[in-house]
Structure 1
Amino acid sequence: MKLHVEVQGQGERTALLLHGMTGSRESWWRVVPLLVASGHRVLAIDLPGHGRSPRDDTMTVERAARSITESTADECGPMPDLVMGHSYGGLLLAAAVDAGVLTPKLSVYIDTPFTTRGGWDRAELTAAYEQDRRSRTVDGLRASRPFYSDQDCVVEARAAECFDPATAAAQATGPGVSFQPEPGSIILRAEPSSYVDDETAALHSGRGVIVRDVPGAAHSVWYSHFDEFVAALPEVFT
C-alpha cells in the first residue's frame, strides 16, 4: 500500500510522524515547524484508512506497519533519524521496529498502547468508529475537547471526514498483538495515562526505555500541553 506522505523542510536529519487513530498528517501542524527549524526534513504520513491514504477492509497491524516503510523508502530508507508515533501510530512504529523493517536512530512513543486484545466483532466496531467519526465535527470537538485550539478542531474535524472505519476495524478483528518499545527509545505519556499505566511504564523502564510523564496532559499530549511536550523532548527539539 502506498501511503500519502507530505514532506517539509530541507534539513540533514529525517523525521517521520505517525498520527493516532482518526487523525491525519495534519495532526502535527504545530510540531512540524519546530522540527523543520531544528534541522529536520519532516515526513508526515497519512496512515491506512486516514487522510489521503488508501482504504483496505482487510488491513492488519503488521501490513499497516510495513506500508510505512514501503511508502517512505525513496525519501529516507529504513533508518530515519527520528520517528514519532502517537497512540495507534506508536503501535505501528513498534510493529515496524519489531519486524526489522524500520530502524530509527530514535523512536518516540507518545501515550502508545503496545498491546491490543483483538477479537472484536467487525460490524460492531465499525459502527462504533463511524459514530465517533460523525461526532468529530468542529463544534463537537470544541465541546468535548476544550483544550483544543480552533485550528486543532478544524484539523481533526477534517481528519474525521476522511477516516475510514472499516480499515480501522479490520485491524482489531484478528488476534491481539503485542510489541515492545526498543531500549533507548522514549515513551512520553500523559499522567495519568489510560494506555501506559505505572506497572507497564516501570516494566519498560527496566528494559532500558526512557519513560517521561507530562502531568495533567490529555492523550494527545501536544494538543493540551504543547510547551511541556516540547520541553520533555530535548533530544528532538534542539
Structure 2
Amino acid sequence: MQLHTHTWGEGDRVALLIHGIMADHRTWRRVAPALAERGYRVIAVDLRGHGASGRGAYAPELFADDVAETLPAGAELAIGHSLGGLTLALAVDRLKPRRAVFSDPAWHLAGPVEGMGPEMFAEFKTAPKEQVQAMNPRWEEADVDVELATLAAWDEATALSLTPLLGADLLPAAPVVPSLVQLADPSFLISPERAEILKSRGFEVRSVAGAGHTIHRDDFDGFMASLEGWI
C-alpha cells in the first residue's frame, strides 16, 4: 500500500520518520522542522490505519511492506518510534538507511502493563482531552491537540492486530545498519535486561532521563540531545 507522506525541508540529506500506534506524521511537529534546519529533507509517513493512509488488514509485516514500498531507500537517517520502531526493524534491510534510530521500540509486548494492552489502546480512541493531559503532564498543549486529532483519524483495529505478538521476543538479532536504541526512563517495552542484550548484539543504547514513552513529545530537548552523533 502506498502511504500518505508529509515532507519538510529541501536538504540534500534525507531523513525518514515512522510514528507509533495511534499517531501519524503530525506527532513529529517539532522533530521534523528541527531536522530540516539541519539540512535534511524529512519524509514522514502515516502508517496504514493511521492519518490519511488507507485501511485494510493489519500486521507488523504489512506495516513494514508499506513503508518499504513508499519511502526511498538509502536515506541518511531513519527514525521509528514504538510501533514505528518495530516497523523500521522489519523494513530496514530494504530501506537501507545509513543510520537507524529506534525510539522506545515495541520489541517486547508483555501484555497489559499498567493498563497498556492492545484493548486499552483501542479504547483510548475516545479519550477526552482531560485524560490525555493527565496521562502526559509534560506535553505542550499543542501536542495534546495533535493527539486528539490523530486519535480521531486512527483505526483502532491496528492495536487489536498486535494481540498475537503478546509475549513474543521481537528483539532484532543484530543491527542491519549502525543503530541507536533510544529508551524512555523507565521503558515499559525494553527492560534493563533487554537493553543489555541489545548492547551485546551491537546496538548503541541511550536513555533519556525521566522521559515517558513518547520521548519526542515528553522531553523534546532531551530527545534531540540524545541523538548527538546520529543526526
The TM-score with structure 2 as length reference comes to 0.89
Which of 137, 154, 163 is 1:146 aligned to? 137
What SS does the aligned partner of 1:16 have?
strand
Deviation of 1:207 after TM superposition, in Å, equals: 1.6
Structure 2: runs of 5 or more not aligned: none
Task: Give the distance between the partners of 1:107 and 1:188, measured in 2 at CA.
Answer: 11
Which aligned segments of 4 or more residues in structure 1 are displaced greater than 2 angstroms?
115-118, 125-130, 137-140, 170-179
Where in structure 2 are the equivalents of 1:152-231 lying within 5 Å? 152-173=143-164, 176=168, 178-180=170-172, 182=175, 184-231=178-225
Q: Show CA shifts across 1:192-217 (max 9, x none).
A: 11111111111111122110111111
Q: Show CA shifts across 1:211-233 (max 9, x none).
A: 01111111111212111111111
What's 2:91 paired with?
96
Structure 1: runs of 5 or more not aligned: none
Task: Give the distance between the partners of 2:86 and 2:21, measured in 1 at CA.
Answer: 10
Determine if contact 1:3/1:53 at 8 Å carries over to the other structure. Answer: yes
Determine if contact 2:6/2:43 at 8 Å carries over to the other structure. Answer: yes
What's 1:134 paired with?
126
Determine if contact 2:139/2:217 at 8 Å carries over to the other structure. Answer: yes
Task: Give the distance between the partners of 1:18 and 1:109, measured in 2 at CA.
Answer: 10
Determine if contact 1:49/1:168 at 8 Å carries over to the other structure. Answer: no
Determine if contact 1:191/1:215 at 8 Å carries over to the other structure. Answer: yes
What's 2:98 paired with?
105
What is the letter of the counterpart of residue 62 of structure 1? E
Deviation of 1:6 after TM superposition, in Å, equals: 0.6
Aligned length, in residue pairs: 224
What is the letter of the counterpart of residue 86 of structure 1? H
Where in structure 2 are the equivalents of 1:41-80 lying within 5 Å? 41-56=41-56, 58-72=57-71, 76=72, 78-80=73-75
Which of 56, 78, 81 is 2:76 aligned to? 81
Question: Which stretch of the first structure deviates more once superposed, 225-234 or 9-18?
Answer: 225-234
What RMSD in Å do the two structures reach over aligned CA positions?
2.1
Task: Give the distance between the partners of 1:171 and 1:200, measured in 2 at CA.
Answer: 20
Q: Show CA shifts across 1:79-135 (max 9, x none).
A: 2111101111000001112xx3221111000111224479x9xxxx87544321111
Identity of aligned residues (%): 33
The TM-score with structure 1 as length reference comes to 0.87
